[in-house]
Structure 1
Amino acid sequence: MRGLRMQRVLVTGAAGRIGTVACALLAEHGARVTALSDVAPPAGFPADRVVVGDTRSEADVAAALEGADLVVHLAARPHRTAGTPYEVYTTNVVSTFNVLAQAAGRGIRRAVVAGSINAYGLPQNDHDLIPAYFPIDEHIPRDISDWYSLSKHNDESASRMVWRHWGMDVVTLRFPHVNSAAALAQVAQTHADDPRSGLREAWSYLDTRDAARAIALGLIASTTGAHALFLAARTTSAPYRTEDLLDVFAPDAPRLRRFPGREVPMDLVPSQVLLGFEAHHELELPTLDLPGGLAG
């Protein structure tokens, strides 16, 4: 990733789960990292410049953007329960608009934004819904019933506006559940015991190390415009055959193709083509028959 060498990269939400790993990877590839966080990062944090501030603040973001060549915007309330509905929604949409608009207004040409699979609305939906078809892709119909999903949907609209108005290229990464290998192993156990719980996210997941690499690839990609891309590991977080899972838990949802073994029923081609991204870290799970008790 030679294109990162000596580039000043602002990372918002730098002290978070993904931000910490992303800052380390960017620094490893020669980037000069400015970390913007609402809490002071620990000693030894992989950034040569740290700004403690609020991504909703014009002044704090302006200070953090000084000298920046590229932007990674990760700061957000990460779930519908991470505050009141007002706090979750306003924090996310104001932060994204503030960071992107100021960056673009300064002439910065590229940003990567942490989006979410929730932008299509189903994972945290209040109603008993299943995806309209599989694999989940960029054209999947949306059904949004919560403020977090609405915020991530509107973040994508803000990214398109910024590109159209200022011409800044923006890559939004629609992350699935992202976590460490140990935490993902616990998710896999949950989906082994209760496979239905992973249906609306297509049993997708991503290791934080792969999330960081996707961010770096987004910064050096040759794409133009505003793109929102699904990405995930190539296999599911359930130890059962994908076709068996869909037969039982989504029998009426059309399948646009077949899914051999534990292949994740999500369209990963755009992230492969536009970013050159494929996950390197996958759960080591057996491929088992779906137990009759679970199927029933």
Structure 2
Amino acid sequence: MSELNGRRVLVTGAAGRIGLVTVEHLNELGAKVTALSNVEHPDLKADRVLIGDTRSETDVARALQGVEYVVHLAALPHPSAGSPYDVYTTNVVSTFNVLAQAGALGIDRAVIASSINATGVPFNPHEIRPAYFPWDEKAPSDVADWYSLSKQNDENTARMAWRRWGIDVVSFRFPHVNSAEALQRMSDHMRENPGIGLREAWTYLDTRDAAYAVELALTAPLSGAHTFFVAAGTTNAPYATEDLLDRFAPDVPRARRFVDREVPIDLTAIRTVLGFQARHELDLPTLPLEP
């Protein structure tokens, strides 16, 4: 039986791509889910469904009633999801509001959706790449867009909330997360244009694995504010990782070699602390990378 059986969990952004699958997964584990969304969705099924705004103190206070764990996924998920002002303020105010209220209530654990974009690399208008491979959580950031800045500051908010109120927070630097079918379509595109995957290190994650990572983050024996890269263990391109790096990042330092389609991100932290291993990976051939 899951440790979450019978426990009240708040999921914000519950009607989103990750939110819907996470709510379903928590339901299956026996959790009593309070789902907070700014829109109605026919597939959103939970013990308690609320329509509200995570920027609203009143809406969040209502959603937190009786809650033992928090999963904060609500956000505008792209620089173009609104004006720069709207994207930045929506994301940082929502995260502060949720974590501050949860911390002040004495809630022990929260999980928040950060992003690989907290590094600033994927959406950067300048010609930059990861500083080294395997890319890890300690790599320097280079932020030049409002969405990436919001995710970076969400991680700062998590550290503040832990220091201020003692709430343990896990921040996931999600890559592109989607259904198996959508990921396969992306892989088909990556086969034709593999260079476009460099800035995200050819990472991906199935929504079911995102929900599984949330489960582990809620139940792992840890304390503090932790930030983890989370991704499948393989790339979304049907080419050997060494060939991709030789072609598209030959001058970026590599601390080690990569086997077959091994993702060039260091997943040691999430595997060691949470015991996470993706269970839904793309089944792709390893093809020769043509000139």
Q: TM bucket by the smaller chain?
A: over 0.9
Distance 1:22 1:111 in 2: 14
TM-score (norm 2): 0.99
**Are 1:272 and 2:271 an aligned pair?**
yes
Displacement of 1:141 in angstroms is: 1.0
Matched residue, 1:224:
223
1:25 corresponds to: 25
- Whole-Å separation in 2 of the counterparts to 1:27 and 1:212: 11
Query: Partner residue of 2:103?
Result: 104
1:67 paired to 2:30: no
What are the residue-to-residue correspondences of 1:155-194 with 2, within 5 Å?
155-194=154-193
Instruction: Kindly indicate whether the alpha-carbon contact (under 8 Å) linking 2:174 and 2:229 is maintained by their aligned counterparts in 1.
Output: yes
User: How far apart, in 2, do the equivalents of 1:128 and 1:191 lie?
Assistant: 20
Residue number in structure 1 paired with 2:49: 50
- In the alignment, the residues of structure 2 paired with residue 135 and residue 2 of structure 1 have an alpha-carbon distance, to the nearest angstrom, of 33
Code of the aligned partner of 2:248: F
Q: CA deviation at 1:176?
A: 0.4
Shift of 1:41: 2.8
Q: Which amino acid aligns with 2:176?
A: H
After the TM superposition, list the runs of 4 or more consecutive aligned residues in structure 1 that deviate by more than 3 angstroms.
none
Structure 2 match to 1:141:
140
Q: What does the per-residue CA deviation read over 1:57-111, in whole Å, with 9 as the maximum and x for residues that have no partner?
A: 0000000000000000000000000000000000000000000000010010000
Alpha-carbon distance, 1:189 to partner: 1.3
Contact kept, 8 Å, 2:14 with 2:44, in 1: the verdict is no
Moved more, 1-10 or 31-40: 1-10
Q: What are the residue-to-residue correspondences of 1:33-48 with 2, within 5 Å?
A: 33-42=33-42, 45-48=44-47
How far has the Cα of 1:191 moved from its partner?
A: 1.1
1:118 matched residue in structure 2: 117
In the other structure, the counterpart of 1:11 is 11
Distance (whole Å) between structure 1 residues aligned to residue 240 and residue 12 of structure 2? 38
Distance in 1 between residues matched to 2:277 and 2:161, nearest whole Å: 28
Letter in structure 1 aligned against 2:95 = T
CA distance in 2, matches of 1:214, 1:268: 13
Q: Deviations over 1:208-257 (max 9, x none)?
A: 00000001110001110000100111110000000000001000001011
What CA distance in whole angstroms lies between the structure 1 residues aligned with 2:44 and 2:58?
23
Q: Aligned partner of 1:39: which letter?
A: V
2:5 partner letter: R
Matched-pair identity in %: 64
Secondary structure of 2:58's partner? helix
Distance 2:103 2:120 in 1: 28
- Unaligned runs of 5+ residues in structure 1 are none
State the Cα deviation string for residues 33-59 of structure 1 (Å, max 9, x = none): 0000001232x6331101100000000
Aligned CA RMSD, in angstroms, stands at: 0.8
Give me the whole-angstrom Cα distance separating, in 1, the residues matched to 2:222 and 2:197. Answer: 32
